[in-house]
């Protein structure tokens, strides 16, 4: 009889030591976002107050947590953003070496029992796109591969406090081209925010055997806006010069009139 009473008491304690998280909303870049019905993705990550990983949940259903304080992080691409659970204080999403991965993460939002207030998690895109487009109409037969290297000042994003790891890094990609005609390529990079973090570009012209024929740098540097597109239209096959100075920058569809005051000498 005593054992039955103890078991019943334990169940009552468990029942009253948990609360249900049911009133929450997720946005993606300020717009309402919800997981499509039937998809098993779990966009919500829950961490204890000390940063220890606690659990990963779907947004389809309410869920119960032990009473206490937590931090919640949301992302629409969980497998890419949090491939393996780690302490929130150590969770850093690195710049993709191929510059082909968006970084979409909310702030780490504090939330404590009894979870009666609505929890709002706004997933923000922390990256933008650098789009390079050649204007050449006459091919240069001396090369068939373009290797583009982008010099960045940020190598990672720290989720716990929404800051970036300030570190010089180069990301590069090679692409076949018909002597420069119709060359275009997109690089997904961390937002730059300040001019000091703007990215620089170098181009190597190579044969099919990857022998470098010549190299050129772009004068100036280029901003990357969060969830934006910075397009650079330029000519690869202008008269031979190590510096590409004649280009047009368009940011989110608007032609930039900024002067190239930070051009390399």
Q: So where are the chain's domains? A: 2-125, 128-255
Is the pLDDT reported for residue 237 higher than 70? yes
Is the pLDDT reported for residue 114 higher than 60? yes
Is the pLDDT reported for residue 265 higher than 50? no
Question: 128-255 domain in CATH 2.60.120?
Answer: no
Band (99; pLDDT cuts 50, 70, 90): very high
Band (192; pLDDT cuts 50, 70, 90): very high
Band (209; pLDDT cuts 50, 70, 90): very high
Is the pLDDT reported for residue 16 higher than 70? no
* Calpha distance 264→10 (Å, rounded): 71
Strand partners, 251: 230, 254
Region of residue 80 (phi > 0: left; psi between -120 and 50: alpha; otherwise: beta): alpha
88 Cβ neighbours under 8 A, 6+ residues apart: 47, 51, 52, 53, 71, 73, 108, 159, 160
Mean pLDDT is lowest, of 2-16, 45-59, 121-135, for 2-16
Structurally, what CATH architecture does the domain formed by 2-125 represent?
A: Sandwich (2.60)
Domains 2-125 and 128-255 share a fold: yes
> HSE of 125 in the Cβ direction (CA atoms, 13 Å)?
17
């Amino acid at each position: 009889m005593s054992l039955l009473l103890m078991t019943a008491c334990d169940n009552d304690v468990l029942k009253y030591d948990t609360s249900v998280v049911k009133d929450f909303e997720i946005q993606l870049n300020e717009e309402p976002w919800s997981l499509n019905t039937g998809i098993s993705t779990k966009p919500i990550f829950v961490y204890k107050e000390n940063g220890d990983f606690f659990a990963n949940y779907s947004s389809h259903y309410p869920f119960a947590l032990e009473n206490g304080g937590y931090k919640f992080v949301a992302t629409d691409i969980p497998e890419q953003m949090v491939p393996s659970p780690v302490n929130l204080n150590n969770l850093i999403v690195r710049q993709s070496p191929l510059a082909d991965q968006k970084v979409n993460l909310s702030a780490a939002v504090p939330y404590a029992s009894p979870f009666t207030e609505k929890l709002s998690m706004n997933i923000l895109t922390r990256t933008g796109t650098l789009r390079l487009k050649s204007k050449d109409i006459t091919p240069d037969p001396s090369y068939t591969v373009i290797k583009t290297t982008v010099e960045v000042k940020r190598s990672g994003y720290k989720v716990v406090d929404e800051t970036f790891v300030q570190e010089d890094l180069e990301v590069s990609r090679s692409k076949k081209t018909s002597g420069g005609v119709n060359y275009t390529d997109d690089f997904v990079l961390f937002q730059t925010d300040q001019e000091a973090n703007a990215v620089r570009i170098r181009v190597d012209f190579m044969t099919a055997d990857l022998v470098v024929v010549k190299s050129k740098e772009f004068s100036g540097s280029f901003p990357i806006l969060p969830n934006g597109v910075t397009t650079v239209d330029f000519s690869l096959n202008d008269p031979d010069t190590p510096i590409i100075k004649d280009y047009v920058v368009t940011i989110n569809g608007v032609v930039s009139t900024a002067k190239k005051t930070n051009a390399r000498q």
